[in-house]
């Protein structure tokens, strides 16, 4: 039996490696199945992704149900030179280098539990932001996550982790106490400041290059008041420069847990008109205080408003439409130090022109601004996450169905990115928003040389090279 299995294995792998054809799914599945728990499902199609642009093209999908299964799949694939990639929330928008291999769907590892004193959250590597927030709300704590329900909690944290609570508690990476990590050799390690500290540093900022996090212990912040002001103001396009000025004026005055985002977006059905949307967030406040904190933006004169104090488990509801899966969404980004109102009529015109193309009306441009005082009080050298000095993230996301628009979409996104970043001394791109054409220095900043050293040690064969690979 053993001989037969080994023969099948080497035969399957030989076929896979010697040809550009797909891996022999039935044989490989047969070989993997006995290694894994009975609850593991093997299939040929993964869960739908947020963007179909540059999406991974696996021919085997393994829905893992235990961290031991993750280790076994990685060990097997590494040993046999079979490419593989972990997927959690499936919202990563940069192109993935996986056209023939195994997708390890870690979404079933979605348990979120808390220590008895509620100061620590144990977050499964597959938990979504919604699952994490729902569990945290029920436990009476706050946990730093991204702001959209569909995002993988750990996926966002591994790149840095922006979110509504960073002004109060620091970035996602600052809130991690330890990880369970499957390395390129298929070992399951506990990684913390005292156990493999080099990996602990690298994974917090460049995680997908070093392993698969099966769970993380994160700080939990017990509090009885888990409410926040969530503001949404719509402005007509003729107010573009005034809105930009108001948002820029607010930027240096943001209160600790206050943020402001500006969107060029779609008003939604039935009109589907291009509009400016300004959203705002302020933790643990009153309506009166919140309106005062955003008074400069209100003064521009919104066309309509939908705002209120919401409980923790509803903070992200307004962004659920942004989570809509499928369609092509080749996002681009650039870090900026400030907004320049003079640039924005041109940006608006380019945006309005692109979104008028068939099926492209949901295209969006976003500027995200947080109070960064608390995150900047934590030394940049404490993790591989670079660019704490960047004041705001500008994102442009062409959103359409027809691949025939790819070229125009790319030209539009690059042009807008270029205008927005025209006054910046250095190009920076937050890895979780980056496109992939920025260069590694722009993405990993001054962490790059040390990351390269750690990569050589822990992943010398580049098993985890599918997304912003460090080479
Ligand atoms: C609608 C939307 C909202 C967003 N909001 C925010 C936000 O508020 N804050 C923010 O910081 N970012 C945000 N992002 C960016 C998001 O953080 C990144 O796209 C992130 O990589 C997504 O992780 P994922 O697991 O959802 O996606 P996936 O596509 O499944 O994963 C992306 C990459 O991370 C790797 N990965 C995921 N989980 C693990 C794991 N457990 N261990 C090892 N590698 C893993 C994957 O292998 C892949 O390389 C948003 C993106 C979208 C589309």
**Ligand 1 centre and the CA of 1: distance in Å?**
42
Cβ contact 400:221 at 8 Å: no
DSSP 47-91: PPPS--TT----SEEEE--SHHHHHHHHHHHHHTT--EEEESS--
For 350, half-sphere exposure in the C-beta direction (CA atoms, 13 angstrom radius) is 23
Q: In this structure, what CATH number is given to the domain that contains residue 379?
A: 3.40.462.20
**Ligand 1 centre and the CA of 458: distance in Å?**
22
Give mean pLDDT in consecutive 10-residue pieces for the chain, a chain of 471 residues: 35 40 68 89 93 95 96 95 96 94 97 98 98 98 98 98 98 98 98 98 98 98 98 98 98 97 94 96 98 98 97 96 96 98 98 97 98 98 97 98 97 98 96 98 98 98 97 94
pLDDT of residue 267: 94
From 105, 123, 140, give the residue that closes a domain. Answer: 105
Spell out the residues 6+ positions from residue 84 whose beta carbon is closer than 8 angstroms to its own.
Answer: 73, 74, 77, 98, 101, 102, 103, 104, 463
pLDDT of residue 411: 98
Q: Which residues span the domain enclosing 349?
A: 227-444
**Ligand 1 centre and the CA of 183: distance in Å?**
19
Q: Is residue 464 part of a domain?
A: no
Cα 377 to Cα 387: distance, rounded to the nearest angstrom: 13
Q: Does 296 lie in the same domain as 280?
A: yes
pLDDT of residue 176: 98
Q: Does 97 lie in the same domain as 150?
A: no
Atom 34 of ligand 1, residue of closest alpha carbon? 155
Q: Is residue 125 part of a domain?
A: yes
From 80, 105, 130, give the residue that closes a domain. Answer: 105
Q: Is residue 468 part of a domain?
A: no
pLDDT of residue 404: 97
Q: Is residue 293 part of a domain?
A: yes
Q: In this structure, what CATH number is given to the domain that contains residue 159?
A: 3.30.465.10
Cα 133 to Cα 131: distance, rounded to the nearest angstrom: 6
Q: Is residue 411 part of a domain?
A: yes
- Whether the bond between 270 and the residue before it is cis, its omega within 30 degrees of 0, is yes
pLDDT of residue 31: 86
β-pairing, 120-124 vs 212-219, is antiparallel
pLDDT of residue 3: 33
- The domain total for the chain is 3
From 105, 132, 159, give the residue that closes a domain. Answer: 105
Ligand 1 contacts (CB < 6 A) are 50, 85-93, 106, 125, 146-148, 150-152, 154-156, 158-163, 207-208, 212-213, 322-323, 432, 466-467
Atom 6 of ligand 1, residue of closest alpha carbon? 146
Q: Does 248 lie in the same domain as 135?
A: no
Atom 26 of ligand 1, residue of closest alpha carbon? 89
Atom 15 of ligand 1, residue of closest alpha carbon? 432
């Amino acid at each position: 039996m053993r001989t037969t299995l080994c023969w099948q294995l080497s035969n399957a792998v030989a076929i896979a490696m010697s040809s550009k054809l797909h891996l022999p799914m039935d044989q490989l599945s047969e070989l993997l199945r006995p290694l894994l728990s009975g609850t593991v499902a093997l299939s040929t199609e993964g869960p739908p992704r947020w963007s179909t642009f540059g999406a991974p093209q696996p021919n085997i999908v393994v829905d893992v149900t235990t961290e031991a299964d993750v280790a076994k799949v990685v060990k097997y694939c590494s040993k046999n030179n079979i490419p593989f990639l972990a997927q959690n929330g499936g919202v990563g928008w940069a192109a993935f280098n996986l056209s023939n291999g195994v997708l390890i769907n870690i979404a079933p590892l979605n348990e979120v539990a808390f220590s008895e004193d509620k100061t620590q959250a144990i977050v499964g590597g597959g938990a979504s932001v919604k699952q994490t927030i729902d569990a945290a709300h029920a436990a009476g704590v706050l946990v730093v996550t991204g702001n959209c329900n569909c995002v993988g909690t750990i996926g966002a944290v591994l790149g840095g982790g922006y979110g509504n609570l960073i002004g109060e508690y620091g970035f996602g990476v600052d809130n991690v106490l330890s990880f369970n990590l499957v390395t390129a050799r298929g070992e399951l390690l506990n990684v913390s400041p005292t156990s493999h500290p080099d990996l602990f540093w690298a994974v917090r900022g460049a995680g997908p290059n070093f392993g698969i996090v099966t769970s993380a212990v994160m700080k939990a912040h017990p509090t009885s008041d888990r409410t926040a002001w969530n503001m949404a103001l719509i402005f007509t396009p003729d107010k573009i420069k005034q809105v930009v000025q108001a948002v820029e004026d607010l930027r240096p005055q943001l209160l600790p847990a206050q943020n402001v985002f500006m969107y060029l977006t779609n008003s939604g059905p039935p009109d589907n008109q291009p509009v400016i949307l300004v959203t705002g967030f302020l933790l643990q406040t009153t309506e009166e205080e919140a309106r005062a904190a955003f008074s400069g933006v209100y003064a521009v004169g919104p066309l309509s408003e939908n705002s209120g104090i919401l409980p923790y488990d509803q903070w992200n509801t307004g962004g659920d439409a942004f989570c809509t899966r499928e369609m092509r969404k080749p996002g681009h980004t650039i870090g900026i130090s400030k907004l320049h109102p003079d640039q924005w009529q041109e940006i608006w015109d380019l945006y309005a022109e692109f979104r008028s193309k068939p099926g492209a009306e949901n295209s969006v441009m976003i500027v995200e601004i947080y109070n960064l005082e608390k995150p900047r009080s934590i030394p940049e050298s404490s993790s591989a996450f670079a660019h704490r000095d960047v004041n705001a993230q500008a994102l442009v996301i062409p959103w359409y169905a027809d691949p025939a628009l790819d070229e125009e979409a790319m030209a539009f996104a690059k042009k807008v990115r270029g205008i927005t970043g025209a006054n910046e001394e250095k190009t920076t791109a937050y890895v979780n928003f980056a496109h992939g054409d920025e260069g590694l220095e722009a993405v990993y900043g001054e962490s790059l040389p040390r990351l390269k050293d750690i990569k050589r040690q822990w992943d010398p064969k580049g098993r985890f090279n599918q997304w912003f690979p460090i080479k």
